[in-house]
């Protein structure tokens, strides 16, 4: 086997440098201990901001070392700077290249130039087409994204003149673990059940998109509130006559809002093959009755957007004019009333958006750049976005590394899903053609190999075409 120390395979764990808040690792000390016990040498780059300390990894048998050149396989979580990539190595991390994301194309070029074999966690799919590895992070992203947007709801409603129990909820990173997050939401729910929500804002409605780990993780946390789940078609009635001692939620499926342009119907197979033939009726039929949108859907680039900039401006209604300048007239919001001075009406029903999909310029056109934990919220009116929770429009949270707010749990859960595949990865030798080694890898890893031997794998050759198309359109 390539690169061995005393005939032992060598695995490297790189230091995360994606942003200030990234404290995760692909494996926790307990996982490292299992590898060492089976004869694997594990090198861990030092990082004092990592949630698990170097001492904990050392106690598990790892070597803390800056130089990872002895390792044949190097694991990370997020993308790596092109200059940090070592040639002739096998890497595994979330590459974020499968949509030819412009920001990561220099990294992909470096991967090809340096003869790097890259396994992408996002594309490690099981027989059902689901990625249990990425899914482990998806659930945590949903949980974290839900906590953050509940916090944003509290501060945004306060800015609009309403004190609510949501002010009890902090940002996710202020809690030690998921259980503490749950308790904070339960405390908020207790006050809601006691009738401490202002009646002037009417019943609050939450709508979830997507059916995967992200959406389910977010729903899991909302269920700690007194919540009643309804069909999306019932939201209009809820806004008119719902109870303020609970909140309401609905899960939007493709069947609810996608329509074939000619037939007006939805067909799953046709949509998968030709999403460009479909339109969305979300903005007209559902969005006017949603207080908080939690977006966890997968959006194909050729498909219709959930909300366009024009849609958002339309939802803002009478509170805005063409250029985003307030006209002083309140929007009529179903179910919301004004009790006079001191009880201001809401400017529009839609208060907040948690875009956990973090797909820039994707299903939500107005989300053009992800927010960060340094500045997690912005207010958008469909023409511009302003950092913070003040201004005209809706408050948006689109942090793209949400699991990093629960770094120890994220590392534990993710590593447990990844570890079975690490044993396979250790067979990887970059000087050997991939085809000669394919039999050593499961179909899951074969399909997750973006590039090898200086070329994109056949499954991912479309990235070059998509990239060229994007460049041509500039």
Radius of gyration of the chain, Cα coordinates, nearest whole angstrom? 24
Judge whether 308 lies within some domain.
yes
Judge whether 118 lies within some domain.
yes
Same domain, 216 and 67: no
Residue range of the domain that includes 158: 135-400
- What is the number of other CB atoms lying within 10 angstroms of the CB of residue 17? 16
Judge whether 472 lies within some domain.
no
Q: Is residue 238 within a helix (H) or strand (E), and if so which, with residue range? A: helix 235-241
CB 249 within 8 A of CB 235: no
Same domain, 321 and 420: no
Same domain, 84 and 108: yes
Percent of the chain with pLDDT over 70: 93
Confidence band for 92, pLDDT divided at 50, 70 and 90 = very high
Instruction: Kindly tell me if the per-residue pLDDT of 421 is higher than 70.
Output: yes
Confidence band for 2, pLDDT divided at 50, 70 and 90 = very low
Maximum Cα–Cα distance across the chain: 79
Instruction: Kindly tell me if the per-residue pLDDT of 336 is higher than 70.
Output: no
Residue 265: per-residue pLDDT: 97
Same domain, 157 and 252: yes
Residue 349: per-residue pLDDT: 95
Judge whether 470 lies within some domain.
no
Instruction: Kindly tell me if the per-residue pLDDT of 4 is higher than 70.
Output: no
Instruction: State which of 376, 400, 424 marks the end of a domain.
Output: 400
Instruction: Kindly tell me if the per-residue pLDDT of 440 is higher than 50.
Output: yes
Same domain, 413 and 396: no
Same domain, 365 and 424: no
Percent of the chain with pLDDT over 90: 87
Instruction: State which of 355, 373, 400 marks the end of a domain.
Output: 400
Same domain, 204 and 278: yes
Judge whether 473 lies within some domain.
no
β-pairing, 205-209 vs 90-93, is: unpaired
pLDDT in tens, 382-402: 999 999 999 999 999 999 999
Judge whether 51 lies within some domain.
yes
pLDDT in tens, 288-329: 999 999 999 999 989 999 999 999 999 998 443 333 333 333
Same domain, 284 and 419: no
Segment 129-141 shows an average pLDDT of 90
Half-sphere exposure (Cβ direction) of 76: Cα atoms closer than 13 Å: 25
CA–CA dist 13, 54 (Å, integer)? 12
Segment 45-59 shows an average pLDDT of 98
pLDDT in tens, 216-259: 999 999 999 999 999 999 999 999 999 999 999 999 999 999 99
Instruction: State which of 400, 421, 455 marks the end of a domain.
Output: 400
Q: Domains in the chain: how many in total?
A: 2
Judge whether 461 lies within some domain.
yes
pLDDT in tens, 27-51: 999 999 999 999 999 999 999 999 9
Segment 402-410 shows an average pLDDT of 96
Instruction: Kindly tell me if the per-residue pLDDT of 263 is higher than 60.
Output: yes
Same domain, 153 and 113: no
CB 379 within 8 A of CB 389: yes
Segment 182-187 shows an average pLDDT of 98
Per the listing, tokens 């949501």 go with 166
Same domain, 71 and 21: yes
Residue 330: per-residue pLDDT: 41
CA–CA dist 453, 116 (Å, integer)? 7
Backbone torsions φ then ψ of 445, nearest 5 degrees: -75, -35
CA–CA dist 91, 81 (Å, integer)? 13
Q: Is residue 292 within a helix (H) or strand (E), and if so which, with residue range? A: strand 292-295
Same domain, 441 and 376: no
Helix segments in 308-368, DSSP class H: 309-316
Confidence band for 130, pLDDT divided at 50, 70 and 90 = confident
Judge whether 416 lies within some domain.
yes
Residue 428: per-residue pLDDT: 97
Same domain, 371 and 442: no
Residue 301: per-residue pLDDT: 84
Residue 324: per-residue pLDDT: 34
* Residue 167's CATH number: 3.40.50.720
């Amino acid at each position: 086997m390539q690169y061995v120390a005393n005939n032992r395979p060598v695995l490297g764990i790189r230091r995360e440098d994606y942003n200030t808040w990234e404290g995760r690792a692909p494996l926790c000390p307990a996982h490292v201990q299992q590898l060492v016990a089976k004869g694997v040498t594990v090198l861990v780059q030092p990082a004092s901001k990592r949630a698990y300390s170097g001492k904990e990894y050392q106690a598990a048998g790892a070597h803390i070392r800056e130089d990872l050149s002895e390792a044949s396989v190097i694991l990370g979580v997020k993308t790596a700077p092109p200059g940090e990539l070592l040639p002739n190595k096998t890497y595994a991390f979330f590459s974020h290249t499968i949509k030819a994301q412009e920001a990561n194309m220099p990294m992909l070029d470096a991967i090809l130039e340096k003869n790097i074999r890259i396994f992408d966690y996002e594309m490690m799919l099981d027989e059902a087409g689901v990625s249990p590895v990425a899914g482990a992070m998806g659930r945590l992203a949903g949980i974290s994204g839900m906590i953050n947007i509940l916090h944003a709801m509290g501060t945004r409603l306060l800015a609009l003149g309403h004190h609510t129990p949501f002010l009890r909820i902090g940002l996710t990173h202020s809690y030690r673990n998921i259980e503490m997050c749950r308790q904070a939401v339960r405390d908020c729910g207790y006050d809601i059940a006691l009738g401490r929500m202002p009646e002037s804002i009417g019943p609050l409605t939450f709508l979830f998109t997507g059916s995967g780990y992200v959406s389910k993780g977010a729903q899991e946390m909302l269920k700690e509130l007194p919540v009643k789940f309804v069909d999306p078609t019932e939201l209009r009635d809820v806004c008119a006559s719902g109870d303020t001692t609970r909140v309401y939620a609905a899960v939007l499926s493709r069947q609810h809002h996608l329509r074939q342009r000619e037939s007006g119907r939805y067909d799953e197979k046709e949509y998968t093959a030709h999403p460009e033939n479909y339109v969305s009726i979300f903005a007209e039929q559902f969005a006017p009755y949603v207080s908080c949108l939690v977006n966890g859907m997968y959006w194909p680039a050729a498909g219709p957007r959930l909300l366009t900039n024009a849609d958002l401006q339309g939802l803002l209604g009478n509170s805005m004019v063409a250029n985003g300048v307030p006209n002083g007239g309140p929007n009529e919001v179903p179910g919301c009333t004004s009790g006079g001075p001191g009880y201001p009406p809401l400017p529009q029903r839609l208060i907040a958006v948690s875009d956990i999909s973090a797909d820039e310029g994707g299903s939500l056109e107005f989300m053009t750049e992800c927010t960060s934990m340094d500045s997690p919220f912005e207010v958008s009116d469909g023409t511009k976005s302003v950092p913070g929770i003040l201004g005209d429009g809706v408050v948006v949270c689109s942090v793209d590394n949400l699991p990093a707010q629960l770094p120890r749990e994220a590392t534990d859960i993710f590593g447990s899903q990844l570890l079975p595949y690490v044993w396979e990865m250790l067979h990887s030798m970059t000087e050997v053609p991939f085809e000669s080694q394919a039999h050593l890898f499961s179909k899951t890893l074969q399909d997750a190999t973006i590039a090898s031997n200086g070329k994109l794998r056949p499954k991912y050759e479309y990235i070059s075409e998509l990239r060229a198309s994007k460049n041509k359109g500039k």
